[in-house]
Amino acid sequence: MLFMKIIKATDYNDMSKKAAMIISAQVVLNPHSVLGLATGSTPLGTYAKLVEWCNKGDLDFSDVITFNLDEYRGLTSEHEQGYRYYMNNNLFSKINIKPENTHVPNGVANNIEEECSNYDKQISELGGISLQLLGIGHDGHIGFNEPAEYFEKSTHCVNLTEETIKANSRFFENADMVPKQAITMGMKSIMQAKKIVLVVNGKDKKEILNKALFGPITPKVPASILQLHPDLTVIACDAL
Ligand code: PGA
C-alpha cells in the first residue's frame, strides 16, 4: 500500500525539528541504521538539531552508517563547496559518528564507473538504506537526478542542467566555478530506502512540489517517482 504523509510545518525551524525528530526516532529504534543524507540549504536546520541532541547526550550515532546522495565531479574532500566538506562541517565532525561509517561519492575518483558501482554495492551489502533524507531542486531533481528521458537506476555521473548550475552558483564565486558534472545515487537506491523524508522550504518550491506530488509520474520531474514509494513523509514549509 502506498503511503504519503504530508506535514505542513509552521516555519523553517519547525520543519527542521520535525525532520530531525523522525531521523532521531529511526536511530533510537535501530542504532545500526543506514541513513541516506542530502546536502543543500534545506537540511542545514535538521542537521543543527541532530548535532544539538547528540551533544546533549540524547542521540547516539556511534553505530550509524551514512551514504550521501551526491558529490560534484572534480571537487576534493577539502573543497569548501564540495559535499564531503559540507557534511563534515555541518554534521559528521559535530556528532559521535565514526568517520569510516560516513560515505560520500568520491568526486575525484580516477575510475568513475568503478566508484559508482562500488557505491551501490556497499549500500546493497548493508541491506539498503533505512531512511533517506531528501531535498528537491527547482527542476524537480532529487540528488542530482536531473530531468531526463528515463529514470536512471544506478549511481552514475550526470551533466548538471543550466538551472541547477545557476541555482548552485550562489555558493560559488560565479556560475563558471560551478562544476558541470556530479556523481549521484540513482533512483534504485533512493526508492529502495525503507523510509523517505522529503524536506521542502519556501514559496519558490511550491510549483515543483505540487507537480512532484500530484502530477504525472515522469522522469521529466524526477521527484514524481516518490509517489510510488510506500513510506514517504513530506515536511513542507511555505511550499504547499
Ligand atoms: P536547496 O537544494 O536545499 O539548497 O534548495 C535542494 C536540492 O537541490 O536538492
Give, for 53, the enclosing helix (H) or strand (E).
Answer: helix 44-55
> Which residues of the chain fall below pLDDT 50?
none
Q: What percent of the chain clears pLDDT 70, i.e. is strictly above it?
A: 99
Q: Which residue of the set 71, 115, 146, 152 is catalytic? A: 146
State the Cα–Cα distance between residues 61 and 87, nearest whole angstrom.
14
CATH number for region 4-184+198-237: 3.40.50.1360
* Residue 41 neighbours by CB distance under 10 Å: 12
Listed residue (48, 81, 54, 45) closest to 200, CA to CA: 45
- 141 Cα nearest atom in ligand 1: 9
Amino acid letter for position 120: D
Q: How far is CA 109 from the centre of its chain?
A: 21
- 43 Cα nearest atom in ligand 1: 3
What DSSP character marks residue 142? Answer: B
- 142 Cα nearest atom in ligand 1: 9
Q: Using one digit for the tens of pLDDT, what is the confidence trace for 51-62? A: 999 999 999 999
pTM of the model as a whole: 0.97
Q: Please tell me the residue having the least CA distance from ligand 1 atom 8.
A: 137
Q: Extract the C-alpha cell encoding 32.
A: 545500526
What pLDDT, on a 0 to 100 scale, did the predictor assign at position 175? 87
Q: Extract the C-alpha cell encoding 86.
A: 559540507
State the Cα–Cα distance between residues 179 and 105, nearest whole angstrom.
15
146 is catalytic: yes
What pLDDT, on a 0 to 100 scale, did the predictor assign at position 2? 66
The ligand 1 site (C-beta within 6 Å) comprises 40-42, 135-137
State the Cα–Cα distance between residues 70 and 117, nearest whole angstrom.
14
What DSSP character marks residue 151? Answer: -
Q: What three-state secondary structure class fits 125? A: helix
What is the domain partition of the chain in residue ranges? 4-184+198-237
Q: Check if the beta carbon of residue 107 is closer than 8 Å to that of residue 73.
A: yes
Separation of CA 169 and ligand 1 centre (Å): 12
